[in-house]
Amino acid sequence: MTSSYGPRRHLASSPFKPDPEPTIEQFELDDLVSHDAYGVGRVIGKEADAVTVDFRTRTVRITSPFHKMSRL
């Protein structure tokens, strides 16, 4: 079952620490990256919320957050 209310808010009186904010990795031009579905590629374009990656067989625009992609 999934909740459609979004992330749970942290109560100030809770004895538990709040969940850390997820960090969104930033990529620069010519970074070598690995993608779960497309394999290894190179960043050839950068926008505010997306990057364009050349995977040799295809060029793909991938939007943020980059869950399936990491820098090599």
In a domain, 37, yes or no: yes
Residue 58 lies in a domain: yes
Measured CA to CA, the distance from residue 11 to residue 66 in angstroms comes to 29
Do the domain assignments include residue 52? yes
> Is 8 inside any structural domain?
no
Q: What are phi and psi of 33, to 5 degrees?
A: -130, 160
Note whether residue 54 is domain-resident. yes
- Residue 19 resides in a domain: no
Percent of the chain with pLDDT over 70: 93
Q: How confident is the model at residue 52 (pLDDT cuts 50, 70, 90)?
A: very high
Are 53 and 72 contacting, i.e. CB atoms less than 8 angstroms apart? no
Domain containing residue 46 = 32-71
The pTM for the full model equals 0.69
41 in a structural domain: yes
Q: Is 52 exposed, middle or buried (0-12, 13-18, 19+ CB in 10 A)?
A: middle
pLDDT at position 11 is 83
- How many structural domains are present in the chain? 1
For residue 2, pLDDT over 60 is answered with no
